[in-house]
A = this chain, B = another copy of it.
Amino acid sequence: MLITSLENNNIKKYLKLKQKKYRDEEKMFLIEGEHLVREAYKSNRLYDLLVLDGYDFKIDFSYTNASLNIMKKLSDMDSTPKVIGIVKIEDKKTNLGNRIIILDGIQDPGNLGTIIRSSVAFNITDIILSDTSVDLYNDKVIRASQGMIFKINIERRNLVEVINKLKKQDYVILGTNVKEGIDVRDINVKKYAIVLGNEGQGVSFEVANLCDKNIYIKMNKEVESLNVGVATSIIIYELNGGLK
């Protein structure tokens, strides 16, 4: 089947997914390019697939061909992709795993994508985003995650509520502090949630208050702080060491 009209009902629906409001409503989001589509497919997350008319895309998933004009309209990239996937947003999990990252107000899509990628690399089980964080289904987040967004549970929640719940379930809530705390090399925990904050302001006061202890990364005193994606990655790289 070949779709060429922007008035096609599915295309009209998918075009709306470029806005956060409709992604939330329809519980779907768009992904672009072969790498991401294959990752979504491998993770059983692909719901629908559009392939540029004339392009021979080898995948064991039934797809619809679409004209260049449609692909261009759906895309956020400078160069129009040959494949665009539609992915379903999963429901929230009832039980979280033992190794959680909590992000309080993260704003940069590249940083969030990088944290997702590192989280899968270092065996984090869940990522919890505050309501104030950047939208997870922003195309820049998805691209920076390199498709790892399909391999980890990520939820948007009220942080104070979720942290209070985790505390009752014996999670250690680890804050981060650039000046003082326990050297991340000396931390030994099995069931934890690590809280990281906004790029400029850090963690909000009420969330910081709920942390059981602070960890820090030893570094040259001339540097105030690391990039939040780097700091998160070093902490979970180091904690993952304890798993082996």
Contacts and interface: CB of A to CB of B under 8 A. Distances in A.
Interface of A: 110, 114, 117-118, 120-123, 144, 146, 148, 151, 185, 217-220, 222-227, 229-230, 233-234, 237, 240-241, 244
Copies, count: 2
A146 B224 contact: yes
Contact of A121 (B110, B220, B229, B233): B220
Contact of A220 (B110, B122, B223): B122
B122 A230 contact: no
Given A117-B227, A121-B220, A151-B222, 14 more contacts: A110-B110, A117-B226, A117-B230, A118-B226, A120-B223, A121-B219, A121-B226, A122-B220, A148-B222, A185-B241, A219-B240, A233-B234, A234-B234, A234-B237
A227 B227 CA distance: 13
A220 B237 CA distance: 11
A123 B219 CA distance: 8
A220 B118 contact: no
A220 B72 CA distance: 35
A204 to B, nearest CB: 21
